[in-house]
Chain A
Amino acid sequence: GESVGLHLPTLSVQEGDNSIINCAYSNSASDYFIWYKQESGKGPQFIIDIRSNMDKRQGQRVTVLLNKTVKHLSLQIAATQPGDSAVYFCAESGYSTLTFGKGTMLLVSP
C-alpha cells in the first residue's frame, strides 16, 4: 500500500483477479477522500469519492472503504483488466483543496 509522502509502490496482479490498493492518510480532520487513476501521458481521472460519514461506497467494479479509526483508505477493483493498469492516487481534503499521496502503480498481466 501507499502512504501520503512516501515512495511509489507497485502491485502486480493477473487479469481477472481482484485488486486492493491501500492508502494511509495523515490528517484526522479530513472529511472527504477521493481516488484517481492516472495513465501514462494523461491527467488524473476521477474514479470514486467518499465522505467521512460513510465507511463504504461502491461504483462500477470499484469499492472504496474508509476506516477513520486507523486513518486508512482502500480501493478495491473487481475482475481487474489490462486497461486498469495505471498509477492510482488517493487524496484527502478538509474543505476545498486536495492533498495527494504519491501513488501506487497497478500492473495487470493477461
Chain B
Amino acid sequence: DAGVIQSPRHEVTEMGQEVTLRCKPISGHNSLFWYRQTMMRGLELLIYFNNNVPIDDSGMPEDRFSAKMPNASFSTLKIQPSEPRDSAVYFCASSLGRGNQPQHFGDGTRLSIL
C-alpha cells in the first residue's frame, strides 16, 4: 500500500527564494497534517486540514508560511520568502477521520536555506 508521499526529499535554496513542499496523503484519509521537526523544538504541528478545509493553522510561524489543499489527494506548504531559520525537516501526515486515529507520516522534506 502506498503511504504518504512527499516531494522533494531534499531542497537547498538561497534565502529569499520561494519554497514549495508537496504532499500526497494516503487514499481515503480525510485529515492531513503538516509538521516541522528541528533538534531544538522537536515535532511541531503547523496546520491541519479536515476534508480539504484548514481547521487549525495556529502553528504556522508567520505570514511567510501558507498551506493549501485543493483536493483530497494533494497539499502544498509554501514559504515565501524563505529564511535560514526555516531550515528543518518538514513532514506531512494523514489520518482516517477527524477523531483520535493514528497519523501516518511521509518521509519528510529536508529543507536547507542558505
Contacts and interface: CB of A to CB of B under 8 A. Distances in A.
B42 A102 contact: yes
A43 B100 contact: no
B4 A51 contact: no
B43 A100 contact: yes
Interface string A33-77: 010100001111110010100000000000000000000000000
A61 to B, nearest CB: 18
Interface residues of B, number: 22
Contacts of A43: 4, 91, 93, 105-108
Interface in A85-103: 89, 93, 95-103
Contacts, number: 50
B98 A96 contact: yes
B15 interface: no
B102 A46 contact: yes
Interface string B8-50: 0000000000000000000000010100000000110100101
Given A96-B31, A96-B55, A96-B98, 6 more contacts: A34-B103, A41-B107, A43-B106, A44-B91, A46-B102, A46-B104
Interface of B: 4, 31, 33, 42-43, 45, 48, 50, 55-56, 91, 93, 98-100, 102-108
28 contacts: A31-B100, A34-B102, A36-B105, A41-B107, A43-B93, A43-B105, A44-B43, A44-B91, A44-B105, A45-B105, A46-B103, A46-B104, A49-B100, A49-B102, A51-B100, A89-B43, A95-B98, A95-B99, A96-B55, A96-B98, A96-B99, A97-B45, A97-B56, A99-B45, A100-B42, A100-B43, A101-B42, A102-B42
